[in-house]
């Protein structure tokens, strides 16, 4: 029987993230978390003689959420430019998971043509000791995996 080696579990604290916006690479050292999801769009396929409805994949949708410390005006400025001019902006997000304590190597994923759904225009909270943060939901149109985790060695 195979078991997971606990030291191969990947710590998210070792991750790195970069946004490429208008050809400029911005290290997202102020990021707190990111999660991106690919969801299949499925069409109903009624089948003669069956009481259930079959499903067929008919595309996909990419969406995610980036949570950052309220530390940069970059995304607010881009969104304000959109508000003022109608000129939207797209960017790529590169996420690198590499935990040196794990033996499975690194994984690098690039989310392409990301587009923010919303941003926090302004914020403060005098009742909290925690640093301010903002959550930015987004969509993406393509994805690449530049590096893959190696297969873990079974203990």
Tokens standing for 73? 């005006």
> Cβ neighbours of residue 3 under 8 Å, at least 6 residues apart?
154, 155
Task: Give φ, ψ of 13 to 5 degrees.
Answer: -70, -20
Asked if the model's pLDDT at residue 152 lies above 70, the reply is no
> pLDDT tens digits, residue range 78-101?
999 999 999 999 999 999 999 898
**CATH match for 6-147 among 2.30.110.40, 3.40.50.1820, 3.90.1300.10, 3.40.50.1860:** 2.30.110.40
Output the pTM of the full model.
Answer: 0.90
């Amino acid at each position: 029987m195979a078991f997971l080696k606990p030291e191969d579990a990947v710590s998210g604290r070792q991750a790195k993230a970069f946004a490429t916006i208008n050809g400029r690479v911005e290290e997202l050292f102020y990021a707190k978390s990111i999660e991106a999801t690919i969801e299949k769009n499925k069409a109903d396929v009624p089948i003669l003689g069956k009481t259930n409805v079959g499903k067929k994949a008919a595309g996909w949708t990419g969406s995610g959420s980036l949570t950052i410390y309220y530390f940069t005006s970059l995304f607010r400025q881009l969104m304000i430019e959109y508000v003022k001019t109608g000129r939207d902006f797209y960017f790529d997000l590169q996420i690198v998971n590499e935990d040196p304590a794990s033996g499975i190597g690194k994984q690098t994923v690039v989310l392409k043509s990301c587009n923010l759904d919303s941003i926090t225009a302004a914020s403060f909270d005098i009742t909290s000791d925690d640093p301010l943060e903002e959550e930015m939901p987004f969509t993406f149109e393509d994805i690449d995996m530049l590096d893959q985790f190696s297969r873990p060695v079974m203990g």
